[in-house]
Amino acid sequence: MAGREQCSMFLSRVNFRIEKKETEVIFLKTFYPTQVSRAKRGEATPQMEAVARDEEIAVEDVMECLADGTAVVPANANRSNLSVRGIGRGLKVKVNANIGTSEAFPHLEAERAKLQAALSAGADAVMDLSTGGDLKAVRSMVLEETPVPVGTVPVYEAAVLARQQRGAVLSMQEDDLFEIIEDHARSGVDFMTLHCGLTLGALEQMQKQGRLMGIVSRGGALLAGWMKSREKENPLYERYDRLLEIAGRHDVTLSLGDGLRPGCLDDASDRAQLQELLVLGELVQRAREAEVQVMVEGPGHVPLDQVEASIKTAKSLCAGAPFYVLGPLVTDVAPGYDHIASAIGGALAAAAGADFLCYVTPAEHLGLPGPEEVRQGVMASRLAAHAADVARGHKGACRWDREMSRARRSLDWWRQLELALDPELAGELYDKLNPGKREECTMCGPYCAIKVAREL
């Protein structure tokens, strides 16, 4: 499509309605040229084409899912050199790695090491959740050095600012929060977690029923604290149109956070969680109407027998929006092994329809992870994502397993190591366990089933 045509098409669909509300000007019903609006209008962007190549599907399929909101391609309009990832229906399940400083570990260099660990382990996206040290410097570094989509949770920065400037995390200012969101959007952040569905109604629901762990989402707790101490509605809900406007302008993908996600098995799938989810469903619809890319976040801690129902209910309530889960952890008792608890829940969740897995590291529930924990977390989530891809019948995923099995059948060790999920670790273990490097491995030796079968 020629530039001139694009321009006139864009202008034709921009529809300003300026309204003065308190001190801010909100632009409503403003259609920006997001990936969604382009897909809806039949324009195949370079990002959609890259996704189609990566997934070995037709670009028309990518466009269809973007247009109907069942897939997103997080790609901030201000980012360059982004290696995009598609997330949603018909696409491979993707893996996000959370990094970021904390007050106890505020150093940029440590985050760089974790970022490199996440990327070399194969993360499809990285979220910078920093709350310590120079937040802007860390975010700049992450945006500069990350080829894949980058996400943030702007409310953290608002809480840090409040504590620095006013001495208390709950003294956050609404306008600061929106300015921080806009600043993140301008700087190139591709997707943002925003807990827009955490309403006073959902909090009331939670209080009425009672909970073992209460709120465990950090962003959720900050917002709930702010709301309850002021008896005011969640600004991210009340001023959602403003969010849509910012997101549309920069093509930021909204990731609607679940502030009331269950923090233990006992709290899973309760009324509070579902109440928030109902609101998130509405907000998905409004984002789609505004042609803003949107996905929805999910739990959390969920007993294994509830995972499938939990995901299917959420997907249904949110009209098939891409679903992004943190875990879910299928037990509360596994600190040090939460990457495995999360791999179990994540694989099941993704097989049931979740599209994006946020990794959990072995450091979860214990402290801020270091590079080694980051690496283990990404690998466990990639394994879960791949197992779900196979279950979802993704051709490329099934081919990978088949090729590995062929290499195994022919005892071709070089090829097996090359095809491994983590060639580096597999190679190290193979070398350690096979000092003699014979055709068969040291487990079975001359009793190797493959060799016995071959001799017949």
Between 79 and 392, whose beta carbon lies closer to a second copy?
Answer: 392
Between 97 and 383, whose beta carbon lies closer to a second copy?
Answer: 383
Q: What is the DSSP letter of 252?
A: P
Question: How far apart, in whole angstroms, are the C-alpha atoms of residue 358 and residue 242?
Answer: 27
* CA 181-184-187 angle, 5° bins: 150
Question: How far apart, in whole angstroms, are the C-alpha atoms of residue 456 and residue 441?
Answer: 20
Residue 405 token pair:
């099995």
Region of 89-97, 114-122, 236-244, 415-423 interacting with a second copy (CB under 8 A): 415-423
The residues, ordered by sequence, that sit 6+ positions from 128 with a Cβ below 8 Å of its Cβ are: 99, 100, 111, 138, 139, 142, 150, 151, 152
Amino acid at 115: L
Please tell me whether residue 402 binds a second copy under the rule CB under 8 A. Answer: yes
Looking only at residues 160 through 199 of this chain, which bind a second copy when binding is defined by CB under 8 A?
A: 160, 163, 169-170
Among 7, 14, 25, 212, binds a second copy (CB under 8 A): 212
Residue among 16, 23, 73, 19 at smallest CA distance from 46: 73
Among 136, 228, 232, 395, binds a second copy (CB under 8 A): 228
Between 7 and 333, whose beta carbon lies closer to a second copy?
Answer: 333
Please tell me whether residue 348 binds a second copy under the rule CB under 8 A. Answer: yes
How many other C-beta atoms lie within 10 A of the C-beta of residue 164?
8
Between 22 and 455, whose beta carbon lies closer to a second copy?
Answer: 455
Please tell me whether residue 420 binds a second copy under the rule CB under 8 A. Answer: yes
Among 217, 269, 275, 293, binds a second copy (CB under 8 A): 217
Between 241 and 276, whose beta carbon lies closer to a second copy?
Answer: 276
Amino acid at 96: N
Region of 179-187, 249-257, 311-319, 366-374 interacting with a second copy (CB under 8 A): 366-374
Please tell me whether residue 343 binds a second copy under the rule CB under 8 A. Answer: yes
Between 222 and 243, whose beta carbon lies closer to a second copy?
Answer: 222
Please tell me whether residue 153 binds a second copy under the rule CB under 8 A. Answer: no
Residue among 224, 240, 253 at smallest CA distance from 282: 240
Between 42 and 210, whose beta carbon lies closer to a second copy?
Answer: 210
Sign of dihedral through CA atoms 262, 268, 271, 274?
A: positive
Between 286 and 312, whose beta carbon lies closer to a second copy?
Answer: 312
Region of 20-28, 177-185, 297-305, 319-327 interacting with a second copy (CB under 8 A): 297-305
Among 39, 97, 222, 321, binds a second copy (CB under 8 A): 222
Total site size for a second copy, rule CB under 8 A: 107
Please tell me whether residue 11 binds a second copy under the rule CB under 8 A. Answer: no
Please tell me whether residue 441 binds a second copy under the rule CB under 8 A. Answer: yes
Please tell me whether residue 362 binds a second copy under the rule CB under 8 A. Answer: yes
Question: How far apart, in whole angstroms, are the C-alpha atoms of residue 100 and residue 107?
Answer: 9
Please, what is the minimum distance in Å from the beta carbon of residue 279 to a second copy? Answer: 20
- Integer angstrom CA distances of residue 277 from 176, 194, 260, 313, 372: 26, 13, 9, 9, 34
Residue among 145, 120, 95, 106 at smallest CA distance from 371: 120
How many other C-beta atoms lie within 10 A of the C-beta of residue 259?
32
Region of 33-41, 218-226, 241-249, 312-320 interacting with a second copy (CB under 8 A): 218-226
How many other C-beta atoms lie within 10 A of the C-beta of residue 424?
12
Please tell me whether residue 135 binds a second copy under the rule CB under 8 A. Answer: no
Please tell me whether residue 447 binds a second copy under the rule CB under 8 A. Answer: yes
Please tell me whether residue 331 binds a second copy under the rule CB under 8 A. Answer: yes
Alpha helices in 170-270 (DSSP H): 174-187, 200-209, 218-230, 235-238, 240-250
Between 53 and 228, whose beta carbon lies closer to a second copy?
Answer: 228
Question: How far apart, in whole angstroms, are the C-alpha atoms of residue 408 and residue 430?
Answer: 14
Among 242, 258, 379, 394, binds a second copy (CB under 8 A): 379
- Per-residue burial over 314-330, b if 16 or more Cβ lie within 10 Å, else e, is bbebbebbbbbbbbbbb
Question: How far apart, in whole angstroms, are the C-alpha atoms of residue 37 and residue 33?
Answer: 6
**R_g of the chain computed on alpha carbons:** 23
Please, what is the minimum distance in Å from the beta carbon of residue 408 to a second copy? Answer: 7
Please tell me whether residue 47 binds a second copy under the rule CB under 8 A. Answer: no
Among 107, 366, 395, 439, binds a second copy (CB under 8 A): 366
Residue among 124, 142, 154, 104 at smallest CA distance from 369: 104
Please tell me whether residue 374 binds a second copy under the rule CB under 8 A. Answer: no
